[in-house]
Amino acid sequence: MTNEQEIKEMVKEKYGAIARQSKEQNQSSCCGSTCGCSDVDFSVMAEDYKTLPGYVPDADLALGCGLPTEFAQIKPGDTVVDLGAGAGNDCFIARSIVGDQGRVIGLDMTEAMIEKARSNASRLGFTNVEFRLGDIDTMPIEEHTADVVVSNCVMNLVPDKKKAFSETFRILKPGGHFSISDIVLQGELSDELKKEAVLYAGCISGAVQKEEYLDIIRGAGFTNISVQKDRKVEIPNEILIHYMTLEQLREFKKNYVGIFSVTVYADRPKA
């Protein structure tokens, strides 16, 4: 992975494969796609959506690491944009809140995911939910579109996070806000883990340090930044052993690297 385009193509390939699998297949295979370690469960990141209003099982591929729509303070009539919408899971949750007078836009760069999301929306008869193909760092969305932006375990996969959050700022209305769930680190991962493209697609080695992540958000112009939820992710030895020797695993556990799922809130100022 030597440049941004290579990273994007790798992520698109992996998530394209995921889109063609069922949730059960994704949960029983490494990083949600078949990649040589199907005996381990990579759904360790995901949280349970089943109790949330608007939940659509066919749209839940167990790819997230939080429940951003639960914290997003969405109101009836809002326009909501979901970054990295996948098969539409968070979009359909958001639609149940905004109602018929609201609007939901899902953005994803993977063609197979967009097809699956559009199929789900069409089958459900949703006319105020649309899905657009595009990158988060160059969104095909007009400025001042969204009252609320949500995203679930996607920003960490974007190589240029500064540009991604700058674009998020651009599409939000003045006075709008976001609630984004993502993976961040406290402490450095080994070079071996960072180089693993498969683990990158599984949301870990694309992550940055927590304070760096919050600094990027501040640098984009957001205010009132707060961490709404902070959950430590325990990676089982059965997964880690695929990416390091036994001795490296011992060192990893001895000098523990913190991997956390965080849900972050921030406002775009009204002025």
Tell me the pLDDT tens digit for each residue of 161-206.
999 999 999 999 999 999 999 988 887 766 666 555 345 445 565 7
Tokens of 159: 């190589």
Q: What is the dihedral of CA 168, 170, 172, 174, to 10 degrees?
A: 140
The CATH number linked to 176 is: 3.40.50.150
Domain count, the chain: 1
Band of residue 225 on the pLDDT scale cut at 50, 70, 90: very high
The dihedral through the CA atoms of 146, 148, 152, 154 has a sign that is: positive
How much is the pTM? 0.82
Name the percent of the chain lying above pLDDT 70. 76
Full residue range of the structural domain in which residue 246 is found: 4-267
User: For residues 123 and 126, what is the distance between their CA atoms, to the nearest angstrom?
Assistant: 8
Rounded to the nearest angstrom, the gap between the alpha carbon of residue 146 and the centroid of all alpha carbons in its chain is 18
Name the percent of the chain lying above pLDDT 90. 53
pLDDT the model gives residue 11: 63
